[in-house]
A and B are shown apart, each in its own frame.
Chain A
Amino acid sequence: MWKCLFIKRKLYDYLENSLSEIERIKVEKHLKTCNRCQDNLSQLKVVIDLAAQKKTPQPDSDFWHDFRIDLDRKINERLVPPIKAEYKLRYLPKPVFVYVSILIFILVIGLGNYFYKNLNSNFIRIAQQDKNLIEEILTLDELEDNTLELNDNADLEMDLEEIILYS
């Protein structure tokens, strides 16, 4: 069995005639007595013979003529890349200007937000003061109205008193 294992590893080289003389004799001697190794050998030979029989294409001159034309075109394309029509902006700002613009924009937004909040509170305060003021005015108006009424009544009473006195 060990001998079969040893011979099995040599069978491919035996078929390729790449064994030394001594090894070749050993293999042939073993093959005479071992059917299993003979089967292995014949199977290997079938594989190799079948693979070698595979047909490869033998194209005609027209094929090669077209082949050369395509090949020349591909080489020329690689040597000189095709000119692509590119749309370029007339004015393309430099990256530095872009960054500065973005920074200024952020600052403006930030400052604007800050001032808006502050102004807003002032306006609210003013409005509140105005509101208080308005309430005061309204109150005073009411008071004045009441006073006038009282005055009117006072006048009436005085008129009545005068009438009584002078009647």
Chain B
Amino acid sequence: MEELNKDIVLIERIKQGDRASFDVLVSLYQQKGLEIAYNIVGNLEDAKDVLQEAFVKVYLNIKGFQEKAKFSTWFYRIVVNCSLDLLRKKKRIKNVPIDSIMDEDGQEKRLDIADNHWEPSKISMERELARDLEENINKLPEKQRICFILKHQNGLNIEEISHILKCNPATVKVHLFRAVNNLRKKISKYLI
């Protein structure tokens, strides 16, 4: 609630032409916006361009923003749309170079699963699995891909995703269910 109030105050000042308030708003949302853009477009350079484009659109269209809506939802929607526009322009699906799965101490991190039905025998297999998973995420249908990325890579909840994509929460759940099952089928060869 406090965050919401802070956003409202900043937006009011930006509407009156206060550039300093806009800088504050940028600093509040730049990291999260970058993460969303990065997970969709796949590389830092494009993500930076997308994020800049999104902030430019925010600045130019801030007068049309209604305070009853959440700024974060509106902003993330712009980021998602700008990311998709960039991908359509490039007309290719980018693969993200998979970093090693490390924990904070730099140790190789094993996957934490509830049961023991799956145990990777080699570390390289984990990396290959991660790479394969990323490739298959990029190959998902657009709606499934966006829902999956926003939910499982950016940590947004179903309600937020439904506001961003302007659809029902039930629709988001269907997209997520299909995405996860499609991915499970694609990588099942590693998990036998």
Residues of B within 8 A of A (CB): 23, 26-27, 30-31, 34-35, 38-39, 44, 47-48, 51-53, 55-56, 59-60, 96, 98-99, 101, 109, 111-115, 117-118, 129-130, 133-134, 137, 148, 152-153, 173, 176-177, 180-181, 183-184, 187-188, 191
Question: What's the Cα separation between A18 and B56 when bound, in Å?
Answer: 38
**Distance (whole angstroms) from the CB of A31 to the closest CB of chain B:** 10
**Distance (whole angstroms) from the CB of A62 to the closest CB of chain B:** 13
Asked whether A46 lies within 8 Å of B111 as measured between CB atoms, the reply is yes
Task: Bin chain A's interface residue count.
Answer: 20 to 34
CB-CB contacts below 8 Å: A65-107 with B: 67-68, 70-71, 74-75, 78-79
Report A-chain residues with C-beta under 8 Å of the C-beta of B26.
68, 71
CB-CB contacts below 8 Å: A24-79 with B: 38-59, 64, 67-68, 70-71, 74-75, 78-79
A9 within 8 A of B: yes
- Contact residues of A: prevailing secondary structure: helix
Residues of A within 8 A of B (CB): 9, 12-13, 38-59, 64, 67-68, 70-71, 74-75, 78-79
Question: What's the Cα separation between A97 and B28 when bound, in Å?
Answer: 60
Report A-chain residues with C-beta under 8 Å of the C-beta of B180.
12, 44, 47-48
- Given A54-B96, A67-B30, A71-B55, the answer on whether A38 and B117 have CB atoms closer than 8 Å is yes
Question: What's the Cα separation between A21 and B137 when bound, in Å?
Answer: 32
- Given A54-B96, A56-B39, A67-B52, the answer on whether A42 and B153 have CB atoms closer than 8 Å is no
Cross-chain pairs A/B with CB under 8 angstroms, 12 sampled: A48-B180, A49-B112, A49-B113, A57-B47, A59-B34, A67-B30, A68-B23, A75-B55, A75-B59, A75-B60, A78-B56, A78-B60
Q: A42-B113, A56-B35 are in contact. List 10 more A-B contacts (CB 8 A).
A: A13-B173, A38-B115, A43-B188, A44-B180, A51-B137, A53-B130, A56-B153, A71-B56, A75-B55, A75-B59
- Contact residues of B: prevailing secondary structure: helix
**Distance (whole angstroms) from the CB of A124 to the closest CB of chain B:** 70
Question: What's the Cα separation between A64 and B44 when bound, in Å?
Answer: 12
Report B-chain residues with C-beta under 8 Å of the C-beta of A53.
101, 109, 111, 130
Asked whether A12 lies within 8 Å of B133 as measured between CB atoms, the reply is no
Asked whether B133 lies within 8 Å of A47 as measured between CB atoms, the reply is yes
Instruction: Out of A40, A44, A50, A78, name the residue touching B111 (CB < 8 Å).
Output: A50
Question: What's the Cα separation between A13 and B180 when bound, in Å?
Answer: 11
